Structures are given as structure tokens and as C-alpha cells.
Structure 1
Amino acid sequence: MRESLPRSVRRVAALVRHDLRLHRADLTPLVTMTVMPLLIMAFVRPLYLSSLSTRYGTPPDGVPFTGAELAVPGVAVIFSFFLAADVGYGVFREHGWRTWDRLRTGPARPFEVLAGRAVVPLLVLLAQLTLLFSVGGLLFGLRVRGSYAAIAAVGVCLALCLVAFGFVLVALCRTVMQLNVFSNVAALLFAGLGGTLAPVEQLPGWVQALAHVTPTYWAMRGFTGAVLDGDGLGGAVLPCLVLLVIAAVLTVAGLNRFRFEDRKVSWS
């Protein structure tokens, strides 16, 4: 066991380095998924400002709201879901290049292949969330009344949840077109149900009931708790735990459905 662990780590690291080279060769997706949400934040910020005034009235600390308190986390969560499909692109790319069978019969074990395919999408999601909160905060005057550590913890748990969701999409989809469609539909559906487009309390009752089973709701609850309500790291414990539970459930579902021998149809 002690001898196999380093070899296992080296095999996973080799897959990660390969994925990193491919991502560095084309940074367009990450750049697009960072610039577009920043533009959207500029448009929706006045609408969120109106929601904040209705919800809170006068800010408890006397510092005026800017609208960024909901615009930045809301738009960041929405666009993070669009990147969940990045998990599947690595698998579909291997099928398109006719290298999947060689990867299957190579020295890397199935769990090492899946682990290697998860690391880079996880890093990309964390980079996107970090950029959107940092740049969006600077551009639109986001003021965090609570803990930055709480925001970071929720961001990590959300990214893990999205990687697990990406594996479910890979397991269910046969073609890359299906992957694109289902990931985009899921992003918009979770956005509407989870309170990223409008505060949950302003949504219809049936939506409020469904919101609690969506990862977007718990991500927004964790982010807005730190940004608006002044929550510390302790306030992020419940959202983080729920996101991790959702991630675990999605991981089990994806692993139970995923078959290495399934044929996937890429662009080519």
C-alpha cells in the first residue's frame, strides 16, 4: 500500500498536468465566463439594489447598499454552473480523439482517471469564483460585512458540488451536445429556483419550497450571510455542510451510473 500510493499520485498528477496544458492552450472559456458575468453585474445591480431596499430598508451599519451585495454572488453562482460541464469535456475530448480506450487500458486505475479529470475543473471553478468576487467587488463596490473566510469556504464547497454535478452529466449524456444542453438548462433552472435571480422570499411559495433542495440556494445563503448579515465562519457551517452532502449524493449517483465502456460522441 505504501508503495502503490506514490505511483497512484503520480498517475493522477500526470493526468492533471495534461489537462492543465490543454486549458492553458485555450483560456477563452475561462475569460468569457469571467467577462460576461461582470458585464451582467453592471446591468442587474440597480435591480438588486431595489430588492435590498425592500428587504432591509436602512442598512444596519448605516453604509448604503450598492446592489453588488446580491449582484456579485448571484451572477457568480449562475455562471459557475455553466462551467460544470467542463468536467465532461475532458472525457468527451478523449472519445473524440480516440484515446479513451488507450487511457482505459493504461496503468491508471478508473478512480485515478476520474480524480485526474476532476482536479482541473475544480481549480477552474475556484479561479472563476475568486475573480468574480474580487473584480466584481472592486468594480461595483461590494462591501463584505462579515468574514472573507466564510465566503471562501462556501466557494470551495460549491465548487466541489459542481464537479460532482459535472460527473453526473457525463454519466447521463451520450453526446457532447446533450452535455451542453443539459448543463445550460440545469444552470438556468437552479438559478431560478435557488434565489440567484431574485431573493427567495420574493418568489412564489412553491418555488420557496423547492429552493431548499438546490445547491444554488445554499450557496447564496452562505454568500449573502457573510456579505449582508455579517456572518463569520460559523455562519457558513450549515450551507457548507448541505453543499457537501449534495456533492456526496451526486458523486455516488454519478459513480453508480458511469461506465468506462460507454461510447461517447464528441464534436468530431
Structure 2
Amino acid sequence: MRADALYRLPLLVRHNTLLRLRDPGHLVSYLVMPMVLMLVLGPLHRAALPDGGASQTVLGMLVMFSVLSLSVVGTALLTERTWRTWNRVRATPATVAEMLVAKAVPVFVLLVLQQGLLLLFGSQVVGMPVTGGLAPLLLAVGAWSFALLAIGVALAGFVRSHGELAALCDVGALAVSTLGGAFAPLAMMPSWVRALAPFSPGRWAMTAFGAAVTGDTATTVRAALVLTAVGVVAGTVACVRVGRGLGELRG
């Protein structure tokens, strides 16, 4: 049985990779738009925050548009429901875990690539100083991508249409980014926003990235652990929901 799983999983990963590559529109837009906004907002943030304006611009746009990428994650599962092929796949010997891993791997790679390119653009073009090493950055990127992936799959298991997914992702991205300090440092935000900030994954993402680029490894690890815990909880919910079966989408 284990040998069969090792044979099935690469085939499923390859199939889902082809599906993602054939529909790259969202990922391209979520890569180009933050770059444009970094160039536009960079001078404003540097004027308002002389000591950290470039980092605020780059990391804020990275977090906001990576949250918007939840729609890409959710669509990876909704596509199967739209085509009414999900239940057919479930009828095969492949387990729920195998199917979710096969969906997750290509999207995880794309999320890591998106964030890596934005960090590179931010450091080389926008002028964000990076004094930390590569390892903390990889830890922050990996933990944040894992959390986003798990949340996206969990959302896709509950929504009943692409419209519902789009609405949840758009509103969620705005809320998570605002509470995380993506638009402005939390010190400049109202007190009620600062009180709610610890409940936002975006806040821990901003903390992890901010610490990673400055070389604060201990803070990066703590924030990454919180993001990993969020991912584990969301992933567990996703597995339970998907394991019970998914209904057809509404038109």
C-alpha cells in the first residue's frame, strides 16, 4: 500500500502542477501589482518613516498580496468541484491526505516563489535593507506559505461558490493586512486595532519578515512557530471537512 502511495503521489502532484500552470493569471497579477505599489508607495513611506519606510512598503505589500493569493489556493480545490471530478478522485485508492498534499505542493511552491521574488525586488529595486541571513528569510517564507495554504484549503472546503471564495479572500485580505500592520505600523494605528492585532496571522507574518530582514533570528522563530500552529489548526479543519465529502458548487 505504501509503495502504491509513492507511485500515485508524484502523478497527482504533476497533474495539479499542470492545472496551475495553465491558469497563471492570478499569480501574475499578485506579483506585478505589489511591485507597482512598492514603487508608488515607497517614497511616501520613506518620508513618513525615515528609519523603516522601505521595509514597511515591501513587507506590507508582500503580506497583503500573499493573503490575496488565498484565492489561488482555494481555486485549486474548487476547480475539481466545478468539474465534478472531486468525488471521482475520491473513489480511487488515493487517500484524502494524498489528494490534499498533491493539491498543496504546487501551490506552496508558487507561494514561495511569489514571496521570494517580491523580497528580491524590494531589496534590489525599492531599497529595503536586508542585514539578516538567508535562513531566517526562508523560515519566514515557509511558515507564512504553510499557514496561507492551510487556511486556503480550509476555506475551499466550506464555500459553495467561487463568488463566496472571492468575497472571503478579498475581505479577509483587507482585515488580516490592516490588523497585521501592512498599511502602516501598528504604533500608528488606533488602540482597538492594536488590541486585535495578535489574533491576525498577518501580524505574525509582518513580525517574522521584519525580524528576518534585520537578522533577529529569535523573533523570527517565535513568529514562525505561531504561523505554523495556525497552519496546523487550519489544515486539521481542512482534512476533517474534506474527509466528510464535498457537495457540488452552486451556479
Partner of 1:240: 224
Structure 1, gaps ≥5 residues long: 57-64
Inter-partner Cα distance in structure 2 for 1:156 and 1:266: 34
Inter-partner Cα distance in structure 2 for 1:234 and 1:197: 25
Residue 175 of structure 1 contacts residue 264 of structure 1 at CA under 8 Å; is this kept in 2?
Answer: no
Inter-partner Cα distance in structure 2 for 1:83 and 1:147: 26
Partner of 1:39: 36
Which residue identity lines up with residue 257 of structure 1 in the other structure?
A: R
Residue 88 of structure 1 contacts residue 170 of structure 1 at CA under 8 Å; is this kept in 2?
Answer: yes
Residue 96 of structure 2 contacts residue 243 of structure 2 at CA under 8 Å; is this kept in 1?
Answer: no
Which residue identity lines up with residue 23 of structure 2 in the other structure?
A: D
Partner of 2:155: 169
Counterpart selection for 1:9 from 1, 6, 20: 6
After TM superposition, the structure 1 stretch with the greater mean CA deviation from structure 2, 240-249 or 44-53, is 44-53
Residue 193 of structure 1 contacts residue 210 of structure 1 at CA under 8 Å; is this kept in 2?
Answer: yes
Inter-partner Cα distance in structure 2 for 1:264 and 1:124: 27
Structure 2, gaps ≥5 residues long: none
Partner of 1:103: 89
Q: Give the ranges of 4+ consecutive aligned residues of structure 1 lying more than 6 Å apart after TM superposition.
A: none
Using the size of structure 2 for normalisation, the TM-score is 0.93
**Deviation of residue 246 (structure 1)?**
1.2
Counterpart selection for 1:182 from 145, 152, 168: 168
Instruction: Tell me if 1:261 matches 2:245.
Output: yes
1:57-76 residue pairs with structure 2 within 5 A?
67-76=53-62
Inter-partner Cα distance in structure 2 for 1:266 and 1:9: 35
Q: CA RMSD in A?
A: 1.8
Describe the SS at the equivalent of 1:106.
Answer: coil
Which residue identity lines up with residue 52 of structure 1 in the other structure?
A: L
Residue 82 of structure 1 contacts residue 187 of structure 1 at CA under 8 Å; is this kept in 2?
Answer: yes
Instruction: Tell me if 1:139 matches 2:106.
Output: no
- With over 3 angstroms needed to count, the CA separation of the structure-2 counterparts of 1:178 and 1:259, relative to structure 1, is farther
Inter-partner Cα distance in structure 2 for 1:173 and 1:156: 26
Inter-partner Cα distance in structure 1 for 2:232 and 2:82: 29
Partner of 2:99: 113
User: Deviations for 1:136-174, whole angstroms, at most 9, x for unmatched residues?
Assistant: 322111211223321221110000000111022112201
User: Deviations for 1:17-59, whole angstroms, at most 9, x for unmatched residues?
Assistant: 0111122223322221111110011111123213423xx4xxx
Using the size of structure 1 for normalisation, the TM-score is 0.87
Task: From the two aligned structures, give the one with the greater helix fraction.
Answer: 2
Partner of 2:20: 23
Larger radius of gyration: 1
Which residue identity lines up with residue 183 of structure 1 in the other structure?
A: C
Describe the SS at the equivalent of 2:81.
Answer: helix
Aligned length: 251
Inter-partner Cα distance in structure 1 for 2:77 and 2:221: 33
Describe the SS at the equivalent of 1:143.
Answer: coil
Instruction: Tell me if 1:152 matches 2:138.
Output: yes
- With over 3 angstroms needed to count, the CA separation of the structure-2 counterparts of 1:171 and 1:26, relative to structure 1, is closer
**Deviation of residue 203 (structure 1)?**
0.8
Inter-partner Cα distance in structure 1 for 2:245 and 2:23: 29
